[in-house]
Structure 1
């Protein structure tokens, strides 16, 4: 482990110019007409995003904004981790670590971190192989990532106890933190419960119905998972080569998994805030060379063995479930979650989907702050 070093993002203008040229030179394929969004990324939406990127998105200003964050890098468990570290101005409560998933990045939690830092020290980590963290020599799964995050929080930053929040892969990393380090992890807060970690405990008609519904949705939406798990290198060559292709690959999931009650995909893309989020998230992976490596967590999960905790395992630290209006990964019945996690707080969100840091940072901060305050 190494002490934290202040980190500053530097992107050569030539790199930004080269990306802009690739956007301008992109040859749009002729696609058959169809109902928007039913066959994947909508062409009209993608063209709008590319046009925004080329003519209204200010990359230099966005990078300057990111450099205003208190960001660092440090080695933990032999992996260089990039993180934003906000310290509370007052007497802090338990420190909180915020963990993103895919296709998201640390960018999702910057607003939440600023709010939570009124009462807590907050650490926003770029998971290994994502953003400005190290690209590892081999695929790294969520349990190994949890070990690195724990080493960062305790060994590098010196926090004896902390709270972990995660969405998507970050929820799975948080689960392993609670399972493997119960003496240090005061509690975990999750906005997604991985079906793979609870499917083995399913019992009863309601739980069977939930699992069947997930499997039906996954049959329609899960091609990305199978490809990123089985043939990530083939996909990596595609994603790393085309800014438009990478934007389409990720934006489709952002739109498909966010709360549909907060607007249709086309409505969201019409919003400047969503356009900036989608473009900046894509640009981050292009300038860091992590378009391919960010997907390797899927392969890493498979390499770690059968999904889920050891036979009969249960996370016994306090757990809070943020039951989002997630169209792809709706929360399982509480009866099922209670068998695998020690659930002490269950909040049904009135809005917000798979990306709470982007969609409902206000609700997330209120819920997470209340949970941490009670530990």
Structure 2
């Protein structure tokens, strides 16, 4: 791992910039992400050109994984975990990660799960339009009509502030990564989230003593090879409820039961309502018996699930886990991390239950 310095000010610990492709770094006709060897020097020159004397120091962190974020998989998310872990282990703490918007919320939420308990400061950002103006072919210039430059500078400011945690910065706002979802396919205000996340399992330590940090790193390094290996097998499925007979959903679920233990997200109606049938109930119980984790969430973008309606509460008698207010991206991220981190279905469910009980307590205290 090498960090190529592009120091703009005299901060002793520069912000580590990770470029992973996406719309932000796309250029030309048709648009395609520039290679890091071409894009990062161009970005460095633009930063130097626009420096008003108060830019933070920046270093480029080598990243070999640059591709359209719609192509990301579990192995790719684990790659960024490993990349950040290596940099954090040698003393870097403040990071900005530029990625594509298609899976930006998934990647941010996963890294929030993976670095819980640390004092890492990571800001994830991207853009809906490229940073560079493709109409200008003789030099690289910032597109004045793009959101990329503002998003990037907002992310740098947040990273320079150094507050522990994983945040997503976009459209002039920033939120805890676990609360963020994409709500528009092309508008500059493409994401939303909320600031009172209350997810203590993903909490961060403001001032982490060196001894505790080393213990945290030792724990992570002890499992990193296992996580890398498990990422080749870990799978999360999503079953979307539609106005069909319950047997349709039952058949979809039964087709997964012979696979190795995986995560299954049920996207229910309203507050998590699922059509009932005895066969579907039996399939849900069988999924649990086979080691799968089934989590119910809502198709609605806000509000989460509730057990107050009989139309939805029946499933929890068959070992389905309520997704609460977690977004789909956050549920995916938590399921994936549990599959990678813990080696048995019992330990995974225990960890999820521990998370939920702490979350409820924190929400209650914040009211």
Flag the structure with more relative contact order, 1 or 2, with Cα contacts below 8 A and sequence separation at least 6.
Answer: 1
Identify the structure with the greater helix proportion: 1
TM-score by length of 1: 0.29
TM-score by length of 2: 0.29
